[in-house]
Amino acid sequence: MKKVAVLASGSGSNFEAIANAAQASDSPYEVVALITNRADAFALERAKSLSIPSYTVLPNQFHNKVDYEQDILAKLRAYDVDWIALAGYMRIVGPTLLEPFRNRIINVHPSLLPQFPGKDAIEQALAAGVSHTGVTVHYIDEGVDTGPMIAQQSISIAEFDTYNILQMKLREVEHILYPQTLKHVIREDELIEKNSVN
């Protein structure tokens, strides 16, 4: 059973979806901690209701990003974390976290990357007038939504879709695709580990 920590900045609905999926009998992972960079993140309430340990690490309480991420890294190591899932974590991951977890940090993004990376992906899609958008699950690298893609799912944009309607459609996809993809990459990694031992 692999140990997953979730980093979030906001409501934490994807955190909850990942945690709920971990309860399935065939899940290859368990969620051992939530870390947020905002004291008012609703994800903290979700963690409390799920009895998952949670921590708030505020960037402005540190001299620099390295110190901030070292504090997070210490918490991850205390739980012997294997994988990190970003769930609406609104900060670029620096090398302090990226290097120890290279190819073991994944993120969900509300667009069909490489289209509409970064913030405001839903607004970007609506402003562009495209007929389809979707959800991408990808590995994290040094860039902004530039890491290798793992899974995508497309949805159509109806003529009268507002931001809120489109966000709701995308969230429904995220809550299924993200936990499924997390399970998939962890199982694949376990197979590679077993084969390398043999």
Per domain, the residue ranges of the chain are: 2-197
- C-alpha distances in angstroms, 151 versus 63, 93, 100, 109, 132? 37, 20, 23, 11, 16
Average predicted confidence (pLDDT) for the chain = 95
pLDDT digits (tens, 9 = 90+) for 80-139: 999 999 999 999 999 999 999 999 999 999 999 999 999 999 999 999 999 999 999 999
- Nearest partner of 89 among 150, 10, 24, judged by Cα: 10
Query: Would the pLDDT of 162 be above 80?
Result: yes
Residue 115 CA to its chain's centroid (Å) = 18
Render 54-108 in DSSP notation, one character per residue. Answer: EEE--GGGSSSHHHHHHHHHHHHHHTT--EEEEES--S---HHHHTTTTT-EEEE
Annotated active-site residue in 63, 109, 132, 138 = 109
Structure tokens at 149: 């893609």
Whether 128 contacts 120, CB under 8 Å: no
What confidence category does residue 194 fall into, taking pLDDT thresholds of 50, 70 and 90?
confident
pLDDT digits (tens, 9 = 90+) for 54-67: 999 999 999 999 99
Residue 119 is assigned to a ligand binding site? no
CA atoms within 13 A on the CB side of 178: 29
Whether 12 contacts 46, CB under 8 Å: yes
- C-alpha distances in angstroms, 37 versus 55, 59, 73, 185? 9, 7, 13, 26
**What φ, ψ does residue 85 adopt, rounded to 5°?**
-115, 125
Q: What is the widest separation between alpha-carbon atoms in the chain?
A: 56
Does the annotation mark 138 as catalytic?
Answer: no
CATH class of this structure's domain 2-197: alpha beta
Q: How far apart are CA 126 and CA 174, in angstroms?
A: 18
Residue 92 is assigned to a ligand binding site? yes
Query: Would the pLDDT of 26 be above 80?
Result: yes
Return the pLDDT at 198: 61
pTM: 0.94
* Tally of CB atoms within 10 A around 129: 7
Residue 18 is assigned to a ligand binding site? no
Residue 91 is assigned to a ligand binding site? yes
